[in-house]
Amino acid sequence: MKSSKQLFNKRILAIAVSSVLAGYSSFTLAECSTTPVSPDSGNIKPVSDICVTDQNALEAKENTEYAWLDTDGKTITVEGSGSAILIGEGATITRKFKMYGSTVTTENGTAIDIKNGATIKEGMDIQGSVIASSNGSAIAIDGADIDGGIKITKGSQVSGTNGSAISIKNSDVAGSITIDDSQIESSGATAIDLNATTISGGVKIQNGSQVISDGDAIHLKDSTISDGGLTVYKASVSSISGTAINVDGSTITGDLKIQGGSEVSSIDGDAIAVKNGSTINGSLLLDSGVTVSSENGTAISIENASDITGSIKVQGNSVVQSTNGNAIHIQSGLLKKDGLVIQTGSSVQSTNGTAILIGSGTIIEKDGFKIYDSSVHSVNGDAIVIADGATIDNLTIAKAGSVVSSENGTAIVIDGQAVDGGVINLKIAEGATVSGGEAAIDFSGADSVVKLDIIDGTITGDIIGNTTHNNGSAGNRINFKGNSVFDGHSISGVGWIENSGYLSIHGQQQTVVWDTDTFANKADSTLNFVVGEETNLDETLLQVTGDAKFETGSSVGLTYKGADINDIIGQQITVLEADTIDGGENIAYELEDSLSPLLTGESEEIAKIGLNGEVIGSEIIVEVGVTLDAEMGADQFGDLVEEGGGNAQDIAASEYIVKSALTQFNESQGITPEQAADEIAVLNSNSNPAGELVALLASSGSDAALTAALANELTPDAEGGEVRSALAITDQMRRGSGLRSDYLRNQAWLGNSHDSWNGWTQVLYSDGELDNSSEANGYEMSMLGASFGIDHVMDNNKFLGLSFGMANADIEIGGSQNTKDVTSYQAMGYAGWFNDRFFLDGNFSLAFNDNESTRYVGASTGYEGNQQANAEYSSHQMGYQVAAGMKFDMAGVHVKPKLSYGLQWIQVEEFQETGSPAALRYEQQKYTVMELGAGLSASYNIPVELGTLTPSFTVMGYKDLSNDEYIKENAGLVSDTSDEGFIMTGDSVGDDSLYAHFGADLEMTSGINVGGGLQYYQRGDYRDYALTANMNWRF
């Protein structure tokens, strides 16, 4: 919002300055005429600039006919009072009013004044011109006919102070008003004021145009746009204390459209207001990334019996927002056809007000109010309010990504009524979510029956109905269908609640209460209870105050999200209590339908796989255990991973972890492998150290996709980021020594090396990326490093140097939140021999690396225990490189082809993770990379004032001679004391590579050299870009 105010002040200042400068130049030009121009007939076209004082400068006389008016690029200026251009009463311009590249200004008055009864028959065409008044309106048209429309284009600037920029009253514009790539500003009045005027071709603000005012920016008062609508396209309309677009008692035929990333904003007023009986015979459409906002007012306000025959649509990732007011407020308005639609990634939001308020007297007809794949959010107010006296039939919130939420209020409040005394239908479907801090949905004040359909939707918070329309299945009712979720404390004021799908109810710290006459679990439907750390298992999970009915094929399930499976082992859990339970014999307790295959239940002993439960009086009680056969549990888990799309390594790793977890669990219970295979042992509920790990493994339930995602998290990434980054840092050191070798040879050839010592430093930043593969995740790596060294040229044909470096690499693993951090410390010695034709270089390096890694395990499933597996470990490396080449001089360009051979050896020490119950231990890793390179470098010395500038280019290709080396991680659970584990194979360590460098250095006469360069490097599927900066000084 503040940027609009700053922009307004900036633009006004710019216009004022340009006007003053224009006026100054007019008065000082020798050819500036001080005689007004007012011909009796013919054409109106000044032959020179006009600068007058206290009179009109250019005038079309009253009741006089002219062929055309053309300012011909001239400057027309009035000092004092008067109009720069005056078209008198009854005057007629039979052709066009044309203004190209002109400056028209006045100090006190109207810059262009078109009086009552005047006619311009081919319209007004203003291009690249400045029109300004220091104390009045820039353009005023009162009671005139403009045939052909008004066009202000090509960077024109129209500015009024204490008057409008454009004021059109009691007039008829036969054509469009088009503002294209231009600025319209007013200080102290409305920027574009259309009053009691008819426009037949629409109003268009487009292509970078700005309309700015501290009052209303655009005000359509008692006017008619008979065709073409009002469009803001790739433009901005902003107000400080008024309304940005004010449609007041007017009629627009066509759409009011804000499109193409446009911004419409106000600080202390409304952004868009349609009021006082206005009619839009079309839609109010926000599309393609637009923003409509107000800081202290309403972003979109429809009020006082205004009528929109189409709909209000917010779509295409558009934003409607208010900080201290309502985002959308419809009061005593009529919406027909599609009503109000928020869709395709858009958002409506308020910080301290209501996001969408449908006020008293408002009628939304037809399909009503729809939210698709979009969000409606308020921080401190309600998200959606259908107020008392408002009329609506349908509110639909649908598709994944649709979220209606309030942090500190209620998500949806319905106090209104249905059309013609019918039913208000509220549908939450296709992955939509409704969430409220106070309540999710409150229709306690509704004046009609409310029917709530939740189809594959999520409710977070309470649902509050009323007793007025609470009349069993004929009154307020809730239908849960598909895979739906209720995560709240209560439902009240609803006579009938029905589940005909798979309904998950989240257990709370206290009993969830459904105050209803009847809960009906329809045929072949599942009532699933989700329990975790926040669930009080000592209390009934769900209480139905009325009757609970279970039809044929009903089932009850349990999903565990907690941190330790011991919390539920052996417990009798009352999942539901009702006044009466009808059809209890129809309930199947098939635990595998909702829980992981690792979990089963039995009252005293494990004899089969399945959840044990029963109806005792008016309660449903279940009990949970852990499957004992580790082999069977691992196979079932692996089958789910495969079904969910997991790869072979995910399956192998997860099967090992499941088998180990269950074996540890059995051992702590004193159960032998033979007993476990026969499933005949009795479990106890004593604390079990493997409980957390089993809980983690069980957190994906029987969902194949979730289980595959969990298996991917359990499995090490094996992307080799810490190995690749350590090798890359050494490669950068080698390249630095190569550049040093080139530099020293070049300085020797220039005669600058003498026998002095050189101190140097280099700073490098790189960004790299490895794509995901079918077997291992890729990663993004950013690296920042610095190195410094000293070297010495001896006898003008050989050199010796030593350097030290430190670099840090941040690695973000693809497809996860996992990260690695590598800090490397490097030392390198380098030496070389050369003559006028040949050269030989070599280097030897040592490095020590500190590595830190973080894996997230259980994040995909919502596991409530410790999700982080952290590790700190070290690695060491050593290597050398030799290169030989020769130099050719070609037209002053030094061309140096060369061959190289390099070897790097790296050892990653054994380490183990901490934190997650699935923390792993890793064995030591050793890798060797050998490569043969060929390429050339070229440089050219250019004498400049400060010294010698040497641009250079290097390209090298490397053949991997150790292509059988792959990242291989031998891992096992930290909690597993056996020698078992699994092996993960990732990307190749080496691979063929390509390196290119373009840079330049400046050798100054003071003995200081500065330079920099851009690098590109690709090794297999890995690629990075790097920037370098370096400095050298002789001492």
| Residue 683 DSSP code | P
pTM of the model: 0.77
Half-sphere exposure of 567 (CA within 13 A, CB side): 20
Cα–chain center distance at 615: 49
Distance CA 927, CA 447 (A): 75
Residue 672 confidence (pLDDT): 62
With a cut of 60, say whether residue 23 has pLDDT above it: no
Report long-range pairs for 56-59 (Cβ below 8 Å, ≥24 apart).
56/82, 56/83, 56/84, 56/85, 56/86, 57/82, 57/83, 57/84, 57/85, 58/84, 58/85, 58/86, 59/83, 59/85, 59/86, 59/87, 59/88
* The two structure tokens encoding residue 889: 């001089």
Place of tokens 């359509």: 220
Question: Which residue shows structure tokens 């259908």?
Answer: 386
Helix then strand then coil, % of the chain, to nearest 5 = 15, 50, 35
CA distances from 524 to 556, 591, 699, 711 (A): 11, 15, 24, 31
Residue 379, token pair as written in the block: 């921080």
> How many residues make up the chain in this entry?
1035
Task: Report d(CA 264, CA 236) in Å as an integer.
Answer: 6
Q: How confident is the model at residue 558 (pLDDT cuts 50, 70, 90)?
A: confident
In whole angstroms, what is the distance from residue 139 CA to residue 87 CA? Answer: 11
pLDDT band at residue 774 using 50, 70 and 90 as cut-offs: low
Among 128-142, 424-438, 858-872, 955-969, name the one with the lowest average pLDDT: 955-969
| Cα distance between residue 169 and residue 458, in whole Å | 54
CA dist 124 and 146 (Å) reads: 8
A 10 A CB-CB count for 348 gives 30
The pLDDT tens digits for 970-1019 are: 999 999 988 899 999 888 888 899 999 999 999 887 778 899 999 999 98
Decide if pLDDT at 11 tops 60. Answer: no
Side-chain half-sphere CA neighbours of 929 within 13 A = 29
Q: Residue 909 has what DSSP assignment?
A: P
pLDDT attached to residue 594: 57
Residues whose CB is less than 8 angstroms from the CB of residue 60 and which lie 6 or more positions away in sequence, other chains included: 38, 44, 66, 69, 86, 87, 88, 91, 93, 118
Cβ(83)–Cβ(112) below 8 Å: yes
Say what the pLDDT of residue 686 is. Answer: 47
* 3-state SS assignment for residue 946: coil
Sign of the four-CA dihedral 653, 654, 657, 660: negative
Distance CA 822, CA 874 (A): 9
Confirm if 722 and 875 have CB atoms less than 8 A apart: yes
Per-residue pLDDT band for 604 (boundaries 50, 70, 90) equals very low
Task: For residue 37, give both structure tokens.
Answer: 């121009």
Tokens in use for 879? 């290597």
Closest CA to 526 of 485, 560, 555, 558: 555
pLDDT tens column, 708-739: 999 999 999 888 889 988 998 898 889 888 88
Band of residue 235 on the pLDDT scale cut at 50, 70, 90: very high
pLDDT for position 1: 38
Neighbours of 926 (CB within 10 A): 11
Residue percentage of the chain with pLDDT more than 70: 91
State mean pLDDT over 233-247: 98
User: What is the rounded distance in angstroms from the CA atom of residue 383 to the CA atom of residue 327?
Assistant: 10
Q: In the prediction, which pLDDT does 163 show?
A: 97
Residue from 820, 836, 830 nearest 869 by CA: 820
d(CA 614, CA 589): 8
Q: Which of 118-127, 225-234, 1021-1030 has the lowest mean pLDDT?
A: 1021-1030
- Distance between CA 581 and CA 578 in Å, rounded? 6
CA–centroid distance for 1024 within its chain: 25
Closest CA to 603 of 617, 589, 593: 589
892, with CB counted inside 10 A (0-12, 13-18, 19+), is exposed
C-alpha 864: how far from its chain's center? 27
pLDDT tier at 885, thresholds 50, 70, 90? very high
**Which two tokens mark 266?**
């106000």
Distance CA 167, CA 464 (A): 52
C-alpha 442, offset from chain centre: 31
Q: Which residue in the block uniquely carries the two structure tokens 């979720």? A: 485
pLDDT at 685 over 70: no
The model's confidence at residue 344, banded by pLDDT at 50, 70 and 90, is very high
- State the DSSP code for 61: P
902 three-state secondary structure = strand
Enumerate the β-bridge partners of residue 598: none
Q: 716-1034, what's its fold?
A: Lipocalin (2.40.128)
Segments of 669-738 assigned E as strands: none
For 927, phi then psi, to 5°, come to -140, 150
Res 627: pLDDT: 66
Lowest mean pLDDT among 78-82, 271-275, 532-536, 566-570: 566-570
Whole-number average pLDDT of the chain:
90
- Do the beta carbons of residue 622 and residue 601 sit within 8 Å? yes
Closest CA to 84 of 46, 111, 47, 107: 111
> Within a 10 A sphere around the Cβ of 980, how many other Cβ atoms?
12
Q: Which of 510, 514, 515, 446 is nearest to 486 (CA)?
A: 514
pLDDT at 4 over 70: no
Confidence (pLDDT) at 242: 98
What mean pLDDT do residues 320-345 have? Answer: 92
Q: What is the pLDDT of residues 530-552, one digit of tens each?
A: 999 899 999 999 999 999 999 99
Mean pLDDT across the stretch 881-888?
A: 94
Q: Is the pLDDT of residue 153 over 50?
A: yes
Residue 22 has a pLDDT of: 41
In SS3 terms, 116-175 reads as CCCEECCCEEEECCEEEECCECCEEEECCEEECCEEEECCCEEEEECCCCEEEECCEEEC
Closest by Cα among 878, 874, 926 to 730: 878
**What confidence score (pLDDT) does residue 5 get?**
43
Q: Burial-class residue 573 by CB neighbours within 10 Å (0-12, 13-18, 19+).
A: buried
How much of the chain, in percent, has pLDDT values that exceed 90? 73
pLDDT given at position 316: 96
Instruction: Work out the pLDDT band at 623, boundaries 50, 70, 90.
Output: confident
Contact 286, 320 (CB under 8 A): yes
pLDDT digit string, tens, across residues 357-368? 999 999 887 678
Point out which residues pair with 119 in neighbouring strands. 92, 145
Of 881, 924, 933, whose CA–CA distance to 906 is shortest? 924
Residue 152's closest CA among 164, 170, 139? Answer: 139
Bridge partners, residue 139, by sequence:
112, 166
What's the CA gap between 478 and 992, in Å, rounded? 63
Q: CA-CA distance, 811 to 849, in Å (whole number)?
A: 14
447: helix, coil or strand?
coil
**Phi, psi (deg, nearest 5) at residue 523:** -55, 140
638 confidence band (pLDDT: 50, 70, 90)? very high
Asked if 828 and 733 touch (Cβ cutoff 8 Å), the reply is yes
Residue 312 has pLDDT above 60, yes or no: yes
**Among 111, 114, 152, which Cα is nearest to 135's?**
111
